[in-house]
Amino acid sequence: MFDPQKLMEATIAGDSGTVEQLVRTALERNTPADEILNSGLVAAMDIVGERMENEDMFIPEVLMAAQAMDAGVQILKPLLADDASNAKGKAIIGTVKGDLHDIGKNLVAMMMASTGLEVHNLGVDIPPEEFVAQIKAKNANLVCLSALLTTTMPMMKETIDAIIESGLRDNLKIMVGGAPVTQSYADRIGADGFAPDAGSAAKMAKAFFAS
């Protein structure tokens, strides 16, 4: 019988090997892939997100948990492929032009993926026109902009302006984040949301697409 509690504990502990073993065993016992995903892996990352917000878990531990979750997701992916069209939303995330910081943005991407979003991580040093091109190519309805330097923060506004000029703004939610970014700055540049950490970013993204 599938025990979601054990899978949650292994995921939170960042034990990728045990996560893989538990997922495979659950599948062998004919547990539905979506049940394994939601009651084990996603439920674990909800707890991780809360602990991160409360500063009970820190980035290295959260990264390990996210990697353990991903190890389980990779096994489930072929079985969940038919449900890809049911993704709650399609998100594009990237660090803006001129900024090469990656770790926080990657963590946000993993946490968002754990909520059921289809996430496309563009990487770093992404110019406004590339964000616009990828929004069109991926048919995205959420864009997440990251900046870790005060000198690259203005590129967030340039990117949002480019999205507006492209005529795509009305169909999008835009989130911004990064160490120097604040809620007031997000409001000033016309973003829909600001999150101070990966856990709250994932929660906000999930709320955007809650039916």
CATH number of the domain bearing residue 119: 3.40.50.280
Rounded to the nearest integer, the mean pLDDT of the chain is 92
State how far Cα 52 lies from the chain centre: 14
- Residue 175 corresponds to which tokens in the numbers above? 């989130």
Distances, alpha carbon 109 to alpha carbons 32, 92, 144, 206, in Å = 25, 9, 9, 12
Q: Are residues 100 and 126 both part of a single domain?
A: yes
Claim: this prediction has a pTM higher than 0.75: yes
Note the pLDDT tens digit of each residue in 12-49.
Answer: 999 999 999 999 999 999 999 989 988 999 899 889 98
Q: Are residues 64 and 95 both part of a single domain?
A: no
Q: Are residues 202 and 101 both part of a single domain?
A: yes
**CA–CA separation, 10 vs 20, rounded Å?**
10
Which of 53, 84, 115 delimits the end of a domain? 84
Which of 84, 118, 136 delimits the end of a domain? 84
- Residue 123 corresponds to which tokens in the numbers above? 């990487």
Count of structural domains within the chain: 2
Mode of pairing for the β-strands spanning 142-146 and 118-126:
unpaired
- DSSP class of residue 148 equals -
Per the structure, the complete domain to which residue 27 belongs is given by 4-84
Which of 84, 116, 150 delimits the end of a domain? 84
